[in-house]
Chains A and B, each alone.
Chain A
Amino acid sequence: MRIVNPTFGVSAAAGETVALKPVNWKTDAIALFSNSKPNARELLDGIRTKLSAFRSVDNIDFVAKNSASQGASKDLIEKVAANYRGALLAIAD
């Protein structure tokens, strides 16, 4: 018996491939990216405190989406990509 696959679809064009560069977590600028859910900021703040034990945190910044229920804007993602070498994301509740 032949059936039509209910999951079939054509995948959208793959995103531009970006060559990954190594991140020096001891010195590079890092974004602490919040999904804007309650307590995400507190969680990231704890990470920043832990990082301060072995590196300067002057170039570790908090970034947040405008809304917990909406995706981050393209502009925000591009801004993070342009200004930071690494990002740590808080993605759950």
Chain B
Amino acid sequence: MKDTTEQEVIEIGDLDVEAFNEYATEQGWSDGMPLFVPTEDKVAKFVERVRGDNRPFSPVPPRQVVPTLQSLAANAVMAGCKPEYFPAVTAAMRGVLDPAFNLHGTLATTHSCAPMVMISGPARKELGVNCGSNCFGQGWRANATIGRALGLMLLNVAGAKPGEMDRSTQGNPAKFTFCFGENEEENPWTPYHVQRGFAPTDSVVTVMSGEGPHNLNDHGSTSGIGLLTTFAGGMATPGANTIYGKGPLFIVIGPEHAATLKRDGFSIESIREELFTRSRVHASRISEENQQTYVTTGHKPDGDWFTIAPTPQDIHITVAGGPGKHSAFIPSFGGTTVACVRIAP
């Protein structure tokens, strides 16, 4: 390896917060919202939180530089994180560096995808991550800033500058931040991280490059099968990237819907099977030209139907949110994976 000409620590003179933000914007470091100043002492407090986790980071594509804990922490400081959030932030970074996540592709694509971050286990409560009402929305510092920190790292370390390396046609508000907690207390099944082989006592960050949440509204169905009819219909959309049938997706079930499904005997596995079978898109809803594109890129229909996931196991199920008859469908970029990383204690 060779050092870049950049310096890890920069002397910028006596700047107040407003002047720093002007400076940072000129450098291309900003996501457009105000930043906190990553002074050496603030960064040191963050780095201290991950002293027990000395695993090196692999080069971050597309820019292919190996970040230091200090440079990652600088982004977390700028995002407004508290120091105690930093282990979750670094876990998210390790997740997107899983080769199967295809970070280069997800950052450089014209698709609108953004890194979805879900937190499971005890860290949710310890960090104050919102798992209940409005969990995808505003109002919680941990949700807002952990997701934002990852976005700033991808901008500044990975080099995903909008309009340059980040070629997204329209982008997505989730590129500012997209972090929520699993509502394990109202999950009648196995928590997601335990489904993935972690212990219930582990704290885990799950990342997927996804679109924003698509609402699945069903106030009328009083049966599990009725809810799955709505879910499958909502998932069967020709405009989401899942139409290529090549990647994972998330169904985030609201607690009231989850209780109904559980009452009617549905398990995670049977929900997956039902949704895989019924969320197909009929060829009549897709133009002939587009059908041809799918077929030539390897996604052949099953009769007159296009599946939106390669297998039932690519449909990932969890529970989050508060009271109300809503759930959410989160399609992925397609050529990516759902990566889980345990938060270092």
Contacts and interface: CB of A to CB of B under 8 A. Distances in A.
Given A11-B2, A12-B66, A69-B109, A1 B13 contact: yes
A17 to B, nearest CB: 13
Interface in B60-84: 60, 63-68, 70-71, 73-75, 77-78
A9 B73 CA distance: 12
A2 to B, nearest CB: 5
A62 B288 CA distance: 25
Contacts of A68: 297, 335
A18 B246 CA distance: 36
Interface in B1-53: 1-4, 6-15, 20, 27, 29, 37-40, 43
A53 interface: no
A8 B14 contact: no
Interface residues of A, number: 22
A9 B4 contact: yes
B281 interface: no
B65 A11 contact: yes
A8 B13 CA distance: 19
B237 interface: no
Given A11-B2, A12-B64, A69-B335, A6 B40 contact: no
Interface string A1-23: 11111111111111000000000
A7 B7 CA distance: 9
Interface of B: 1-4, 6-15, 20, 27, 29, 37-40, 43, 59-60, 63-68, 70-71, 73-75, 77-78, 102, 104-105, 109-110, 152, 156-157, 246, 293, 297-298, 333-336
6 contacts: A1-B11, A2-B10, A3-B9, A4-B8, A10-B68, A93-B110
Interface of A: 1-14, 36, 38, 67-71, 93
Given A8-B74, A12-B1, A69-B102, 13 more contacts: A2-B12, A3-B37, A5-B7, A6-B74, A9-B67, A9-B68, A11-B4, A12-B64, A38-B293, A67-B335, A68-B335, A69-B109, A71-B105
